[in-house]
Amino acid sequence: MTDMKPDMQRILANEAEAGNLTYFAFVKPQPAPPAVARPRGKGRNRGRKRCNPKPAASAPLGTLPLLLAGRYRLERLLGAGGMGTVYRARDLLHEQFGDPDPYIALKVLSEEFSESPDAGLVLYSEFALTRRLRHPNIVRLHSFEVDAQRQCAFITMELMHGLTLDKLLCEHPTGLPWTALQDVVVPLLDALAYSHGRGVLHGDLKPSNVILGEEGVRLFDFGLGQAEAGVLPGLPHLSRSRFNAWTLGYAAPELLEGGALSAAADLYAVACVIFELACGKHPFRGLPSTQARDQRLERTLQAPKHLPGRCWPALRSALAFNVEERSGGLQALREAMGTQPSWMSRWMSRCRR
């Protein structure tokens, strides 16, 4: 992470001091215990939203055995989402051969979802889609395996250390400064563009599915992802919409109305994330996009304070409720966020301060 700009390095250093936080792929954070009420302070920290620094690592293991496939020893529950549960595990085979870091993340389907007749196919589909992606800003999966004795399928993947963007926003409620924002957004857009180029749609882009860690930005959780037509033709096409698992605040209107997942839907979701990172607030107050559209909240949208003016047209287009109005596409947003201002525009910006 040596190429990251000073603003982002300082943010990570400050967050590291707050606690040794580790977050993992394919998992929603466990609910934090209620915070103890404190007197309201004065100055810049008054009313500031803060996250509880304690990770969910102390949660019990649940009903799974301590050892899966005779190789992976589960150590602790890291978190559980609607479809999956993720554990920290130790790879005993690697440990036996002297691997100094035999720790992995291991995902199984949640107990409730595992009763579905095609649950195993859903988990394998997630693995097959993500395995196609070899990019420095996308999570790395290791294997798909089955404990035959217990009839339990699971995925093994890298253990990721760092902060998910929702936790980062808790500590920066007014958004990130421009240089830090760029450090996060540009690699995120590169990862998404690469994924689309490989024919893989994400389906669940939101702050808690992006991590900022020791190796930079990493996109994860393709559990609601789908392959585009002609990609992985042998893979069963499973409709995620029937699981009712879309994240309402980031799912495009067409998804909530039963439409198919598309690159344009991913674009809408990542635009919501970028807007939130730029000002600390969701563009439509976190409402489902269909409800925000009905209330015509797009009329109240204003360029975030930390976003250069040249970036706003592309971001505003990506936030359109009408899929046909997201005409600029991911490339236009990437170009806007990645370009550096000219000497003249930087000089004019300083004069306006």
Catalytic machinery residues: 204
User: Quick one: CA torsion of 321, 322, 325, 326, rounded to 10 degrees?
Assistant: 60
* Other beta carbons less than 10 A from residue 137's beta carbon: 22
Phi first, then psi, for residue 52 (nearest 5°) are -70, 125
The interaxial angle of helices 6-18 and 178-197, nearest 10 deg, is 90
User: How many whole angstroms separate alpha carbon 109 and alpha carbon 94?
Assistant: 24
* Other beta carbons less than 10 A from residue 181's beta carbon: 23
User: How many whole angstroms separate alpha carbon 150 and alpha carbon 75?
Assistant: 18
User: How many whole angstroms separate alpha carbon 225 and alpha carbon 245?
Assistant: 11
The token duo for 162 is: 């760092």
Nearest to 105 by CA among 123, 93, 90, 84: 90
User: How many whole angstroms separate alpha carbon 284 and alpha carbon 298?
Assistant: 8
Q: What are the residues whose beta carbons fall under 8 Å from the beta carbon of 160, sequence distance 6 or more?
A: 22, 23, 24, 25, 105, 139, 211, 213, 218, 220
Long-range contacts formed by 245-248: CB under 8 A, 24+ apart: 245/82, 245/83, 245/204, 246/203, 246/204, 247/204, 247/206, 248/287, 248/288, 248/289
Angle at 318 between CA 313 and CA 321, to 5 degrees: 120
Q: What is the three-class DSSP state of 29?
A: coil
Cα distances (angstroms) measured from residue 312 to each of 251, 318, 319, 328, 342: 21, 10, 10, 12, 16
Contact 84, 26 (CB under 8 A): yes
